[in-house]
Amino acid sequence: MRGVVFPLLCLAVMGCAAKMQSIGASRPEVLRDVEGYAIASCLASQSDPYLKDQGDAWASVIIQRMKGDVEVLDDVLDQVKHENAKGDMAVIRDETGLGKDKALPMLYCVEIIDESSVRAAIQKAVAVLNSAYEQ
């Protein structure tokens, strides 16, 4: 029995890896860039110097490699700023801080692309940029 389980387990793992690889491969570059720009913009607006620097650098890389008119991203940036202004940062109870809350800017910024106003701006930008990415 043991001789059969290992090959079956290997096949299952390889199948999962192949499935994950095909899922990642199906994500259009234009969507990756516009969503990445939204997340990077959110990080760049944080008060933590490291997050601010990383967000700014990430956004710069996207702008340098993207295809099409950069100004299309202006509405995405505006919507990210609008969401940030709401102050709905994800927080958890900090176990080491005796009852203090711990802000989670990474989680917040990764999930900002799911806010309806940001998602709408992303979809609009993708629609405009799509033809430039298909060339």
Per-residue pLDDT reduced to its tens digit, 102-123? 899 999 999 999 999 999 999 9
What CATH number should be reported for the domain whose range is 28-134?
1.20.120.1620
What distance in Å separates the CA atoms of residue 86 and residue 74, rounded to the nearest whole number?
A: 19
Per-residue pLDDT reduced to its tens digit, 18-57? 444 455 568 899 999 999 999 999 999 999 999 999 999 9
- Residue 6, amino acid: F
Residue 66, phi-psi category: left (phi > 0), alpha (psi -120 to 50), beta (remainder): beta
Q: Which of 83, 77, 29 is nearest to 56 (CA)?
A: 77
Domain boundaries, the chain: 28-134
Look up the pTM and report it: 0.78
What distance in Å separates the CA atoms of residue 95 and residue 121, rounded to the nearest whole number?
A: 37
- Residue 16, amino acid: C
- The whole-number average pLDDT for the span 5-25 is 47
Confidence at 6, pLDDT banded by 50, 70, 90: very low
